[in-house]
Amino acid sequence: MITLTDQSFDPGALLTAFCQGRTETGAVATFTGLARAEQGDTTTLELEAYPGFTEAAIGKIAEEAKARFELHDFHIVHRVGKIMPGEAIVFVATAAAHRRAAFEACDFLMDYLKSRAPFWKKESGPTGERWIEPRAQDHTDIARWETSKS
Partner 1 sequence: MARVLLFGRLSDIAGWRSRDIDSASLGALRDLLSGEDAGLGEALAAPGVQIALDQAIVRGDAVLSARSEVAFLPPMSGG
Q: Which residues are at the interface with partner 1 (CB under 8 A)?
A: 33, 47-48, 50, 52-53, 56, 78, 89-90, 110, 113-122, 129, 131-134, 138
Binning the chain into helix, strand and coil, the percentages to the nearest 5 are 35, 35, 30
- Quote the strand ranges of 1-43, DSSP E: 2-5, 27-34
Nearest distance from C-beta of residue 106 to partner 1, angstroms:
12
CB of 110 to partner 1, least distance (A): 6
Nearer to partner 1, 25 or 119 (CB): 119
Query: What distances in angstroms separate CA 15 from CA 1, 112, 119, one per listed residue?
Result: 13, 21, 24
Length of the chain: 150
Q: What are phi and psi of 28, to 5 degrees?
A: -125, 125
Minimum CB separation of residue 130 from partner 1 in Å reads: 9
Residue 138 dihedral angles phi and psi, to the nearest 5°: -65, -40
Min dist CB 33 to partner 1, Å, is 5
Pick the closer one to partner 1 by CB: 92 or 95. 92
- Nearer Cβ to partner 1, position 18 or 91? 91
